[in-house]
């Protein structure tokens, strides 16, 4: 009886996702739980949100030119064809792409990754029930890798995904990735939240401003832009396939970040991203002393806790305010600072075209420098 009961639970566990029209796979590192109820939380979560998950197919026209063909410069050929065949000959080709997204407003507002739809000339959105819509990219933000696509629902309310609170996530919470990996429609993978606040520099994409969620749920290029769900079927993140070499590791943009800029993107406006124009790293007295004792070091570093300015970009708020390479920022608006990520967050919260004051240590002096933030382009 025990064996029969266990087999019944296992069979039910795998049948439910298939009945719902979704294929299902577990992260390789997870053991199958034999005490799951017949209506598993995964099936319930997918049933709640799955209809709002869409497939996004894109097409863009890419122009390229052939190199110079010496035969086209032949004088005999030119007698017949003239000069029109000489030099470079342009050619256009169509490049197809594919990803995922999810509906956040019944009128047809869809969230996805910017890299899924950027520069697309044609966007086609396919719902789970097979209906297809022509999509319009209303806004993209490369800094957060977020985008909004709008479809005309012709007055019909489309199914929407419930948005959760990514600030309430804990390491070890369930993570359910939904999307269309490598062209396979309606696929669900299961894992856990492995790490919170994984910085973009740690992930290896320093041009982004995101603290990622890390999960072991399988995330592939095709389900980029799809939702990462919690056990209640609420969206806690947006899947993003950003590391081709990230075997067994997936990343997602916290949904609270998307909430902040969703309306801005839907209206086609630019997302504000203030910056000051410095490259920086954390420093402490021990690291500074090690650098200063090295006869080959590029410059001396003040032996204090703070954020070291490694480079000042030209024609930026920092360069205009007189900040120099080798300065150590110890305060921002009178708040002590010792972490580069925290400094970046303070600049972000300040806003664009706003005044901000840096206290920096330069040699044996402490200077207060006033900057005015600018929009990052």
Task: Report the pLDDT value the prediction gives residue 28, as an integer from 0 to 100.
Answer: 43
Six-digit token string for 106: 């019944």
The residue whose two tokens read 């696509």 is 149
Report the chain's C-alpha Rg in angstroms. Answer: 26
Q: What stretch of H or E contains 138?
A: strand 132-141
Mean pLDDT of 172-188: 82
Q: Where are the alpha helices (DSSP H) in the chain?
A: 2-19, 41-49, 75-81, 114-117, 200-203, 255-266, 285-292, 317-321, 340-350
Q: Are 246 and 129 in contact (CB under 8 A)?
A: no
From the list 128, 157, 197, the residue with the least C-alpha distance to 345 is 197
Which of the four pLDDT bands, split at 50, 70 and 90, describes residue 200?
confident
Q: Are 102 and 211 in contact (CB under 8 A)?
A: no
Intra-chain end-to-end CA distance of the chain, in Å: 66
Distance, CA of 230 to CA of 213 (rounded, Å): 12
Is domain 274-375 given the CATH code 2.60.120.10 in the classification?
A: no
User: Percent of the chain, pLDDT > 70?
Assistant: 78
Six-digit token string for 284: 């402490």
Determine whether 145 is an active site residue. Answer: yes
What secondary structure letter does DSSP report for 183?
G
From the list 209, 183, 182, the residue with the least C-alpha distance to 197 is 209
Distance, CA of 124 to CA of 136 (rounded, Å): 9
Distance, CA of 51 to CA of 119 (rounded, Å): 27
Distance, CA of 292 to CA of 298 (rounded, Å): 9
Q: Which of 100, 194, 200, 224 is catalytic?
A: 224
Distance, CA of 233 to CA of 51 (rounded, Å): 12
Domain boundaries of the chain, sorted by first residue: 1-62+92-270, 274-375
- Check if 1-62+92-270 and 274-375 are the same fold: no
Six-digit token string for 301: 């570093």
From the list 328, 332, 279, the residue with the least C-alpha distance to 303 is 328
Mean pLDDT of 61-87: 58
The CATH-assigned architecture of domain 1-62+92-270 is: Beta Barrel (2.40)
Determine whether 273 is an active site residue. Answer: no
Determine whether 197 is an active site residue. Answer: no
The predicted-structure confidence for 99-151, as pLDDT tens digits, reads as follows 999 999 999 999 999 999 998 999 999 999 889 999 999 999 999 999 999 99
Which of the four pLDDT bands, split at 50, 70 and 90, describes residue 42?
very high
Task: Report the pLDDT value the prediction gives residue 218, as an integer from 0 to 100.
Answer: 86
**41-49 and 2-19 are packed helices; what angle lies between their axes, rounded to 10 degrees?**
10
The predicted-structure confidence for 273-288, as pLDDT tens digits, reads as follows 999 999 999 999 999 9
Contacts of 11 (CB under 8 A, 6+ apart): none
Q: Torsion angle of alpha carbons 315, 320, 326, 330, nearest 10°?
A: -130
Which of the four pLDDT bands, split at 50, 70 and 90, describes residue 214?
very high
The predicted-structure confidence for 295-342, as pLDDT tens digits, reads as follows 998 889 999 999 999 999 999 999 999 999 999 999 999 999 999 989
Distance, CA of 91 to CA of 75 (rounded, Å): 24
Q: Which of 115, 166, 305, 359 is catalytic?
A: 115
Q: Which of 145, 211, 216, 305 is catalytic?
A: 145
Q: Are 240 and 179 in contact (CB under 8 A)?
A: no
∠ Cα 203 204 206 (to 5°): 105
- Is the model's pLDDT at 4 over the cut of 80? no
């Amino acid at each position: 009886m025990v064996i029969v009961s266990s087999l019944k639970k296992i069979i039910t566990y795998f049948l439910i996702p298939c009945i719902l029209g979704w294929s299902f796979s577990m992260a390789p590192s997870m053991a199958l739980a034999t005490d799951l109820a017949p209506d598993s939380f995964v099936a319930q979560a997918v049933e709640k949100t799955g209809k709002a998950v869409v497939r996004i197919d894109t097409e863009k026209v890419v122009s390229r030119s052939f190199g110079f063909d010496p035969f086209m410069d032949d004088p005999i050929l030119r007698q017949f064809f003239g000069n029109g065949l000489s030099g470079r000959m342009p050619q256009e080709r169509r490049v197809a792409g594919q990803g995922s997204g999810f509906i956040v407003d019944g009128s047809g507002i869809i969230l996805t990754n910017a890299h899924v739809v950027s520069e697309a000339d044609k966007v086609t959105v396919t719902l789970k029930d097979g209906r297809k819509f022509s999509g319009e990219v209303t806004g993209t933000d490369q800094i957060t890798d977020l985008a909004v696509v709008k479809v005309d629902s012709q007055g019909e309310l489309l199914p929407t995904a419930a948005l959760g609170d990514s600030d309430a996530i804990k390491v070890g919470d369930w993570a359910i990735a939904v999307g269309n990996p490598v062209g396979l429609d309606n696929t669900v993978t299961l894992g856990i939240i492995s790490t919170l606040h994984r910085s973009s520099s740690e992930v290896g994409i320093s041009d982004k401003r995101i603290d990622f969620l890390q999960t072991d749920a399988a995330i592939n290029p095709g389900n980029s832009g799809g939702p990462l769900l919690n056990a209640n079927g609420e969206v806690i993140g947006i899947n993003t396939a950003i590391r081709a070499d990230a075997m067994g590791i997936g990343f997602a943009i916290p949904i609270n970040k998307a909430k902040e800029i969703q309306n801005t993107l839907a209206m086609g406006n630019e997302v504000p991203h203030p910056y000051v124009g410095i490259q920086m790293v954390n420093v402490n007295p021990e690291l500074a002393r090690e650098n200063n004792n090295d006869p080959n070091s590029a410059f001396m570093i003040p032996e204090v806790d703070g954020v070291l300015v490694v480079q000042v970009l030209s024609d930026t708020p920092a360069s205009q305010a007189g900040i120099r390479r080798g300065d150590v920022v110890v305060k921002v608006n009178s708040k002590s600072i010792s972490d580069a990520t925290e400094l970046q967050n303070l600049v972000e919260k300040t806003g664009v075209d706003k005044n901000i004051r840096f206290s920096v240590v330069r040699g044996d002096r402490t200077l207060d420098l006033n900057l005015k933030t600018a929009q990052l382009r």
